[in-house]
Amino acid sequence: MRLSSVFVWLAVLAIALSGCFPGGPTYSSQEPAGFFAGVWHGWIAPISLIVGLFKDGIRVYEPFNTGWWYDFGFYIAVISGFGSIALTRKHTKSKHK
C-alpha cells in the first residue's frame, strides 16, 4: 500500500512540474535559463527524456540558456545522481566464519 501511494505522489509531482521541462515556452532568447534552471533540468533529465519521446517540443537540455552557468548547473545535477547526492555509502558487513 505504501509503495503505491509513493508512486501516486511522484506521478502527481511530475504532472505538476511538467511546465518546467526544457524546451517548453518558459524560456526565450530574451529571458534564457540560468544556473538554477540548469540544476533543475539536470535533476529531471531522465523524466524529460521519456516525456520528450511522446510530446514534441520537450527536450533534455534547454536551448535558450545563459551558456556556461547553465551547463555547470546541469552537469552538477547529472553527475550528482539526478538529485540524490550521497556523501556516504552503506557498507554491508560480511560475516567471517
Q: Count Cα atoms within 13 angstroms, Cβ side, for 22.
A: 28
* CA dist., res. 43 & res. 62, Å (int): 13
Assign 33 to helix, strand or coil.
strand
Over range 51-80, report the average pLDDT: 90
Q: What are the CA-CA distances from residue 66 to residues 30, 58, 71, 77 (Å)?
A: 10, 19, 8, 17
**Global pTM value:** 0.67
Half-sphere exposure of 49 (CA within 13 A, CB side): 6
Residue 17 clears pLDDT 90, i.e. is over it? no
Q: Is the model's pLDDT at 79 over the cut of 70?
A: yes
- Give the integer Cα–Cα distance in Å for 57 and 5: 30
